[in-house]
Structure 1
Amino acid sequence: MPRLTSGTDFQLFDTLDSTSLEAKRQVEAGENGPRWIVALTQTGGYGRRGRAWEQRTGDFAGSLFFEPAGPAENLGQVSFIVALALAETLEEFTSAEKIKLKWPNDVLIDGAKCAGILLENLGAHLAIGIGVNMVTAPEGMPYPTTRLMDHSDELPEPAAFAEILDTHFWRIYKEWREQGFEPIRQQWLSSAAGVFEEITVRLPNEELKGVFAGLDETGALELRLAEGKRTIAAGEVFFTAPGKKS
């Protein structure tokens, strides 16, 4: 099986239902990873809460699965590691000033969503699903979308993109393992969209409007409300400040 520079296995498929589902199948079959699964075409991709993720040939669809180290309660922090790695990868193809990170798991270019991240716990394994709009900007979404080709003169092939992303990911992952979450938290906040601006956070049973005050030591969002600060572990963020959209 081909391997990337880091030694991570790399599998490229012409077509899959979902790279995340294939990761699950391989883990269930006894594979341990670390392994990238990348599909040129994905027919049943999905994101958070099982929502369909539109992906066409030319877009990047990949999943990395491996056996993570550290306490299970800290594994949600890996999404911030992936976001930083994705941002650094995209910076090789477009201006760094255009790229912002949106809590909890999106990467924006010029304020519009270009990439998404999905973490799934597979028992002793963690699967990280990543979708990047290279040639497709999905329509009809409740937030603006964009594609890399509108911001870059060069579009990488999937294997080349995975190689760059893999390198950045393992370097930042090693930093997290050695130094903890605080350096990651600070790096993420330095590139975050909407910090100290008014946002709306949609929760299962309520919708809150307040000021995005930062992240706590676990990666939860801190929302400043009129009655005080509230910490939110999971939710959907929509930007409500002038000139901003979700």
Structure 2
Amino acid sequence: MTGSAPEGFWLRAETQTGGVGRRGRKWESPQGNLFCSTAVDLRPGDPEPSSLSFVAGLAVHGAIRHYLPDVPMLLKWPNDVMVSEAKICGILLERVGNQVVVGIGVNIAQAPEVEGRTVTSLKKEGAAVEAESFLGQLSIEFEKGVKLWRQEGLARILQEWQALAHPVGMSVTTSDDGGDKISGEFAGLTVDGALRLRKADGTLIEIRAGDISIG
């Protein structure tokens, strides 16, 4: 998707073999999984475009919950959705002119290996659903999220995200692109979505990029 598509239009690939995710990681989507993208127009007064990653995470969570109502799920900063403590999706944003292209990959039928991560799929967790049907539910959830994002602002989105995420006080370790790690307790999010980390000495710091491990 080049960013010229109308808002609300979704593009789905049957497979993906050359995708690149966050921090240059390989992002594959084998047959039976979902890789899709949609464009969001940027309008005057919209929240920060990068915050659409929280909208996307909430949408994936809602769509999965539709098919797996009783399976343990958790949102993990910055844009992971965990099912049974395993990664099930990938989310990537790209600014193209006056649009943001939101790419979402969800493990539907298969759980391709991700180095250093435990992964799962909807099929493995007990959901019998095809990628096309899941995309239909995902598009409904995403449309609701974008509407909320525009009408009520980022604060409401972050409130909903935190209600479904790792709780305040949970032990987390952050790692940046250089491999440097910082451990502490999750202390919530800033007003613009950065992670607040309380170190062992009580110092509060803000993390704006990187990965975290929990527990």
Structures share a fold, TM > 0.5? yes
CA, structure 1 residues 145+108, in 2 after alignment: closer, same or farther (shift >3 Å)? same
Could you say which residue in structure 1 is the equivalent of 2:34? 60
Paired-residue identity, % = 33
> Do the aligned partners of 2:197 and 2:204 also contact (CA within 8 Å) in 1?
yes
Residues in 1 aligned to 2:131 and 2:176: alpha-carbon distance in whole angstroms:
37
> Do the aligned partners of 2:47 and 2:150 also contact (CA within 8 Å) in 1?
no
Q: Runs of 5+ in structure 2 lacking a partner?
A: none
TM-superposed deviation, 1:70: 4.3
Could you say which residue in structure 1 is the equivalent of 2:208? 233
Task: Name whichever of 58-67 and 92-101 sits farther off.
Answer: 92-101
- 2:67 maps to which of 93, 98, 109: 93
- What residue identity is the alignment partner of 2:58? L
- What residue identity is the alignment partner of 2:185? V
* TM-score with structure 1 setting the length: 0.80
What is the CA deviation profile of residues 46-75 of structure 1, one whole-angstrom value per residue up to 9, with x for unaligned ones? Answer: 211221112110000001123222468711
CA, structure 1 residues 209+175, in 2 after alignment: closer, same or farther (shift >3 Å)? same
> Do the aligned partners of 1:32 and 1:67 also contact (CA within 8 Å) in 2?
no
Residues in 2 aligned to 1:71 and 1:224: alpha-carbon distance in whole angstroms:
32
Structure 1 residue 192 corresponds to structure 2 residue 152: no
TM-superposed deviation, 1:118: 0.5
Could you say which residue in structure 2 is the equivalent of 1:14? none
User: Number of paired residues?
Assistant: 212
* TM-score with structure 2 setting the length: 0.91
RMSD: 1.8
TM-superposed deviation, 1:194: 5.3
Matches within 5 A, 1:1-246: 23-24=1-2, 27=3, 31-34=4-7, 35-70=9-44, 74-139=48-113, 141-158=115-132, 160-193=133-166, 195-205=168-178, 206-225=180-199, 226-239=201-214, 241=215
CA, structure 1 residues 179+153, in 2 after alignment: closer, same or farther (shift >3 Å)? closer
Aligned to 2:119, what secondary structure does the other structure show? coil
Aligned to 2:95, what secondary structure does the other structure show? strand
Residues in 2 aligned to 1:125 and 1:227: alpha-carbon distance in whole angstroms:
40
CA, structure 1 residues 81+230, in 2 after alignment: closer, same or farther (shift >3 Å)? same
